[in-house]
Structure 1
């Protein structure tokens, strides 16, 4: 019996080692990219076929841009920035051109970007005249000693860096303006859909580097210069070559309180969880404090996670093996 127990222990130990080896050393993809365009109460019954097609087409365009960069040996940073440009330039999403309005009828945009290779990061907050805030965030990361710039100072820096500036009227869209008027008239809280309309991208390049970026127009009817999680490194955006890259979308106050993006990476690093298990655990943490939203993520092997606790999230994934997926509903 003693010998049997010893033999059984050896078999179990070998099995455990084998399982760990399989989980920690999956197939390494050459490159991969994942995007989101916001999470919230997105229901098929409320979506016309034309509008649904418009969203799928724009997600596909963004994936194509990122895929082209990575396929041709470009960096994950370039892929993230240029992919987010596609989403920022579309009025379909609450970022850049489609930004929502504050209580005072202005557009205040936020964005952040992070490089997993050296943990460098940059962000801008509360800007209203930079066409592509994600590019301003990258300039802050690469050409300044700071991580986050806000408001007028961020705009002055963007001008100095030669970025394309626009009049605030560039961000006006009738849909977003009418929605603000509706809220002001009824004096009620915003719907989940506009609350969660952020865009983001995470990428793994051929050199094994991860990057993450997030851009948003904020929250409809927000007051007092409110800033959410999108420009906050560790809350809305995080990338570390040792673990994963994450971009979040949701009710920012909850994502800030939990430090969602970095906590996913921390669970992978310290608890040795897979990306899938770490992101599941984070959804549960959000549920516990009644936080709503979602995120997209890639681990260092290129495995994706696109999780949410809402009824939908605009999202997509592409990789070097030719996999290409786009989703809207849960």
Structure 2
């Protein structure tokens, strides 16, 4: 079935080349998911707009899609208005901010860090793990020691003003319960493709607010929060990490695309499986997926309404509201 779908698509596109006027009509009437643009950058939530802009600027500067996806999310890691990414993010229940990040290229190279303290750019530290160590994931004090060895500045362990204010309010009752879209931002996941079709992705977060000390979510877990394969495509995730880890969400989407699903179909199937695995408390769980394939087709889907993403090209940068299961 997958080969038949590809054959039909290629036949239609091929016909448009030879029949005058057909290509223009096809472009106007078809979904953007069927046209594809390269280079292409996708990133989660509203903060994806400035992140995309930073990524495109870096891509123009260096020509490297890996440089681009690192630079894009570094912009978000420095955004003082964002309480779910970077050292300004909301702390765990002990009042300590800990960060997770991962980065991956389409040839399978990947690196991640988790439960990191006092490092402003965990995404760059994840790249160090990928490029300078024989490992994939380094966590906690080991990650901090690596940062020191690599010359990363170690920041004072002080909550940002907004995070401190929120934490003091939370301590009054000290209750923990995931809340759906209480703010219109979360983890930033970014996936990108250069003009030659090379893929890369990045993901960075301060994790769930008021989590148990030591908790790690999906963002640094290769195959859960992020997965990239140059033969197929890329996917990233956002939302309640535990629910995403349970289905290896990003890897699942890439494998579904490998079997012939479109990015949209793959994202919808991933949400369906996530709901099945978390059916008892799904009303309290938000998760969203974002994907692209080698042809530049894109897909996005969430459990509940509210998830959006930014799509960036050399010509435009726009927000798009994702559809959802409920």
- Report the TM-score range of the alignment, normalised by the length of the smaller protein: 0.7 to 0.9
List aligned pairs for 1:210-225, cutoff 5 A.
Answer: 210-225=199-214
Higher RCO, Cα 8 Å, sep 6+: 1
CA shift, 1:80, in A, is 0.5
CA shift, 1:234, in A, is 0.2
Partner of 1:200: 189
Q: 8 Å contact 1:126–1:150 — kept in the other structure?
A: yes
Tell me the distance in 2 between the aligned counterparts of 1:175 and 1:22. 55
Tell me the distance in 2 between the aligned counterparts of 1:17 and 1:177. 53
Q: 8 Å contact 2:271–2:302 — kept in the other structure?
A: yes
Tell me the distance in 2 between the aligned counterparts of 1:148 and 1:221. 23
Unmatched runs of 5 consecutive residues or more in structure 2: 15-33
Partner of 1:126, secondary structure, is strand
Judged with a 3 Å threshold, the aligned counterparts in structure 2 of structure 1 residues 119 and 181 are, in CA distance, closer, same or farther, namely same
Q: 8 Å contact 1:313–1:327 — kept in the other structure?
A: no
Partner of 1:284: 272
Tell me the distance in 1 between the aligned counterparts of 2:13 and 2:170. 49
Tell me the distance in 2 between the aligned counterparts of 1:206 and 1:256. 31
Among 86, 98, 111, the alignment partner of 1:96 is 86
Q: 8 Å contact 1:286–1:292 — kept in the other structure?
A: no
Partner of 2:307: 313
Among 248, 251, 258, the alignment partner of 2:237 is 248
Q: 8 Å contact 2:189–2:236 — kept in the other structure?
A: yes
Partner of 1:11: none
Tell me the distance in 2 between the aligned counterparts of 1:23 and 1:194. 44
Tell me the distance in 1 between the aligned counterparts of 2:101 and 2:305. 25
In terms of fraction of residues, the more helix-rich structure is 1
Q: What TM-score, normalized by structure 2, do the two folds share?
A: 0.82
| CA root-mean-square deviation | 2.6
Partner of 2:261: 273
Higher gyration radius (CA): 1
Partner of 1:228: 217
Partner of 2:42: 34
CA shift, 1:161, in A, is 1.7
Post-superposition CA distance 1:251-309 (Å, at most 9, x none): 1111111000000011111x311111111111222222235211222211222223222
Unmatched runs of 5 consecutive residues or more in structure 1: 1-14, 38-54
Say how many residue pairs are matched.
Answer: 293
Judged with a 3 Å threshold, the aligned counterparts in structure 2 of structure 1 residues 70 and 283 are, in CA distance, closer, same or farther, namely same
Q: Are 1:129 and 2:137 an aligned pair?
A: no
Q: Are 1:299 and 2:293 an aligned pair?
A: yes
Judged with a 3 Å threshold, the aligned counterparts in structure 2 of structure 1 residues 214 and 311 are, in CA distance, closer, same or farther, namely same
